[in-house]
Amino acid sequence: MLGILDLFTEDSPAWTVEMLIEELSLTRATTYRYVKALYDAGFIVPGAGSSYVLGPRFIQIDRQIMRSDPLLRAAGPLLAADRSKLIGAKILSGFYGDRVLSIQVEKIDKDIALTMERGLSFPLIYGSPSLVILAYLPAYQLRNVYNTNAEKIAGQRLGNNWQEFRSEMKKIRKAGHRVGGHYQGSVIGVAAPIFHAPKAVSTSLCYVRSRDICTPADIEKLIGLVTATAARISQELLKYKTDEGSMSPVFPSPRLAGPQHYDEDDERVATTAV
């Protein structure tokens, strides 16, 4: 039933019961039952022409996340305090299953073209916000990523074999950051890991600057800025407690959902990721 919600996209924002029956090959009775349950929960509401569109429940959930997520609560003031003119955009990203999701995006340079908008997800092997998380996965999970995506990894210049790929991930961990955008794209992104527990990384912070105006000296300064702010956010998360004084199990575990598959849209991301 919840899978029905995945059908609502920018290209297909409205669905009728008849369309759902045809798309999902469900019986009419089952489809109506699912639609009613989703409607009663506020996930869908009636639209034009007997269709349904996404409902207000998502707005309520989004508000709850923005107010209660410890990452956003910790990062908000620290990001606001980082006002360097070198920063064209700030991106917080999180690892969920087998993709990385843009959690919060602040665009400062209005001329920057970003593909990593809030709410969009990206493959785990593309872009510095993703790779700086990937580098901290356990070795067996890294091996699974490599075995499933060896050709893609080679195409991203991350290694032509498992040993080279593992070596590249070790370099990222040792450096404590990842610079992306040298080979393609219109921006340079410098990302650093955010730790919610010792050696546990499921989120990253990325500072972005337009490639046309980014000098090697700018990159070095951005590295210092993003790693310092990511470290301060990590410090806040490592001591995070609920109002009752106990640690809250609210952080996602950096765990792969299963074998990864990339479609043609991911190829577009590969040419623009920071």
Say yes or no: 83 and 39 in one domain. Answer: no
pTM equals 0.80
Q: Tokens at residue 213, please? A: 């105006």
Which run of H or E residues covers position 40? helix 28-40
CATH code, 217: 3.30.450.40
Q: Tokens at residue 64, please? A: 């709850």
> In angstroms, how far is CA 108 from the centroid of its own chain?
19
Say yes or no: 157 and 248 in one domain. Answer: yes
Say yes or no: 206 and 255 in one domain. Answer: yes
Say yes or no: 75 and 179 in one domain. Answer: yes
Say yes or no: 94 and 226 in one domain. Answer: yes
203: CB partners within 8 A, 6+ apart? 71, 92, 93, 94, 95, 103, 133, 193, 194, 196
pLDDT in tens, 179-205: 987 545 789 999 999 998 888 888 999
Task: Choose one of 60, 84, 108: the last residue of a domain.
Answer: 60
Q: Give the angle 242-136-75 at the CA atoms, nearest 5°.
A: 40
CATH code, 16: 1.10.10.10
Say yes or no: 91 and 222 in one domain. Answer: yes
pLDDT in tens, 48-97: 989 999 999 999 998 888 887 888 988 999 999 999 999 999 999 998 87
How far apart CA 96 and CA 257 sit, in angstroms, is 8
80: CB partners within 8 A, 6+ apart? none
DSSP 215-272: -HHHHHHHHHHHHHHHHHHHHHHHT---TTSS----SPP----SS----HHHHHHHTT
Say yes or no: 118 and 242 in one domain. Answer: yes
Residue the block writes with tokens 């090697």: 216
Q: Is 122 left (phi over 0), alpha (psi -120 to 50) or beta?
A: beta
> Using an 8 Å Cβ cutoff, are 180 and 132 in contact?
no
Count of residues making up the chain: 274
Domain, as residue range, for 32: 2-60
Q: What are phi and psi of 92, to 5 degrees?
A: -100, 130
Say yes or no: 22 and 75 in one domain. Answer: no
User: How many distinct structural domains can be found in the chain?
Assistant: 2
Say yes or no: 146 and 212 in one domain. Answer: yes
> 193-209: b or e for each residue (b if 16 or more CB lie within 10 Å)?
bbbbeeebbbbbbbbbb
Pairing of strands 89-96, 200-210: antiparallel
Amino acid at 184: Q
Ordered per-residue pLDDT tens for the chain, 274 residues: 889 999 999 899 999 999 999 999 999 999 999 999 999 999 999 999 899 999 999 999 988 888 878 889 889 999 999 999 999 999 999 988 778 899 999 999 988 888 788 888 888 888 899 999 999 988 888 999 999 899 999 998 899 999 999 999 999 999 999 998 754 578 999 999 999 888 888 899 999 999 999 999 999 999 999 999 999 999 998 887 655 555 554 555 555 555 444 444 444 444 445 6
> Using an 8 Å Cβ cutoff, are 225 and 86 in contact?
yes
